[in-house]
Structure 1
Amino acid sequence: MKLSLSIQLFLLSCVYSICCTDAVTIQSNPSANESSIETEVNKTVTLSCVVQDPVDGEELQWYRNGELVSLKDENSLEESHLCVHPVTTDDNGALFTCQLKANATRKASIQLVVNYAPDLNGSEELRAEEESDIVLSCDVRAYPPLTVVWKKGGALLDLSSSTYHTSNDGITAKLTISNVKREEHEGLYSCVATSSIYGVKSKSFIITVDDKVMKFPLGPTIAGLVVVVLTILLAIFSRRERITKCFKKVRH
């Protein structure tokens, strides 16, 4: 049985009404770029959650990375505001979601993108003995990620040498020098990080190589002395009668 055109239009209008009722949107300051907000450390981000055509007393909820955010009662009805202040490095990548408490399918989400520079500056003095190993470490946590290179005496370090080993997990960049030699490894080193936003940052290291010190085997020596002392005491104890007679003869 075919439905009349007027009935079809009526049903379509009902479907459209159901789909679009309680639409949730998030407005932000600074303005979002599609589904993300770009900001920096120590800035403030304000989020406002709005329901289109709300029902009286309709309650909203905020989630940060899936965890419920505590709100005051008056800040959860029909319209809700959330302030992120100050923005920290931990907020980079954080996903904020606003939804209807009575219907979790009605929701909107926005993500923070936090730009921050690496904490690279100053210099550090290090000492190492000949033939030992030494590790140089730089904190390279930053966003966007950095490009890191190592230099010695201002020139790019030749990493083809088997004594140099580098690693970078996005948090710490390390240069390990194995089997240190004064004529080869003593001098000024630096880790140089290049950021597409913050430019070039660097930290320097001054390495001094000392002569190798022959380490005294303290543990075995103490053990040997204990054995010797106990042996002497045992010998004296076992010959105590003879020693006593000798003293008596000396007195007579």
Structure 2
Amino acid sequence: MKTSLVLLAVLLPFLPEGSATVLLLNNASHDDRFNANLNATATLRCEVVNNTNDETLIWYRGTQQVDIKSENSVNISNVCIPQLTMEDNGVSFTCALERDLTIKRSVQLNVLYAPVLSGDTRILAEEGKTVQVTCGFKANPAASMFWRQNGSLFTLPSRYKQDMTSDSLLLTIEKVEKTDAANYTCVALLSNGNETVRVIEVIVGDRQPGLPVEAIAAAVVVGALIIAFGLFARRDKLMCKKNQLDTAM
């Protein structure tokens, strides 16, 4: 309470006349971020200061109103978010006066967690074909993402292409060769030097035999001729039947 009174004394000279009632959210008089670790519990405290009458407080998670007990809504209100998840990261909580929703304070959850990597750990590629190695990632704070080949950094050959989306690191290898078979390590590096890795084994199999181009072309020609002869033969029969009908008439 002493902290709240001190903050109020500092704020009062800057408040417009007639709008002295303010809200403090976790003792802050401005919108803020709330840092917390994954699986931790977050407790948010909203307090009305310089009010002349009792004020009812309401909470919103995003745009959805939070259900709180009546005894937890007058002048001081607390919201507890147990066991924070990655999905809670970036979610905003807003405390407001029920009688005047323009008087409000918001806090955005900043859930911190080590990088989480996902994706297949073994990929079978066919020699001569194109293969894509995918490493999904989530991290807060953001991590630097890159590849190692057989445990070492390497310069990407011209047949290799690296792309990155908001949640995936992609490595595309065109015209795969037997020498491309290796363990590709997806690395998420934090600013403090900590690494999270996921090893993906790429196995390159023999090229599968296919039908020769000449044989395919010959088959297409033969099929077309058979269809053509069939149509002509049926046409002769139809013409014959038509002639028979004309003779009978």
What TM-score, normalized by structure 2, do the two folds share? 0.72
**Counterpart in 1 of 2:7?**
none
Unaligned regions of 5+ residues in structure 1, if any? 1-12, 239-252
Choose from 102, 113, 138 the match for 1:141: 138
8 Å contact from structure 2 (residues 39, 84) kept in 1: yes
8 Å contact from structure 1 (residues 123, 203) kept in 2: no
8 Å contact from structure 2 (residues 118, 137) kept in 1: no
- Counterpart secondary structure, 1:102: coil
**Counterpart in 2 of 1:188?**
183
Give per-residue Cα distances to partners, 1:97-128, cap 9 Å, x unaligned.
21112112321222211111222389712111
CA distance in 2, matches of 1:204, 1:186: 13
Choose from 154, 163, 170 the match for 1:167: 163
Change over 3 Å in CA distance of 1:33–1:22 after alignment to 2: closer
CA distance in 2, matches of 1:32, 1:146: 32
Change over 3 Å in CA distance of 1:64–1:175 after alignment to 2: same
Considering only CA atoms, is the larger Rg found in Structure 1 or Structure 2? 1
Change over 3 Å in CA distance of 1:197–1:77 after alignment to 2: farther
8 Å contact from structure 1 (residues 123, 204) kept in 2: no
**Counterpart in 1 of 2:24?**
25
Q: How many residues align?
A: 221
Change over 3 Å in CA distance of 1:77–1:212 after alignment to 2: same
After TM superposition, the structure 1 stretch with the greater mean CA deviation from structure 2, 92-101 or 70-79, is 70-79
CA distance in 1, matches of 2:91, 2:122: 38
Choose from 62, 65, 70 the match for 2:66: 70
Alignment RMSD, CA only? 3.6
Unaligned regions of 5+ residues in structure 2, if any? 1-11, 236-249
After TM superposition, the structure 1 stretch with the greater mean CA deviation from structure 2, 73-82 or 170-179, is 73-82
What TM-score, normalized by structure 1, do the two folds share? 0.71
- What is the percent sequence identity of the aligned residues? 26
Give per-residue Cα distances to partners, 1:8-63, cap 9 Å, x unaligned.
xxxxx9x97955532111128xx999822211221110112111244555322222
CA distance in 1, matches of 2:128, 2:115: 33
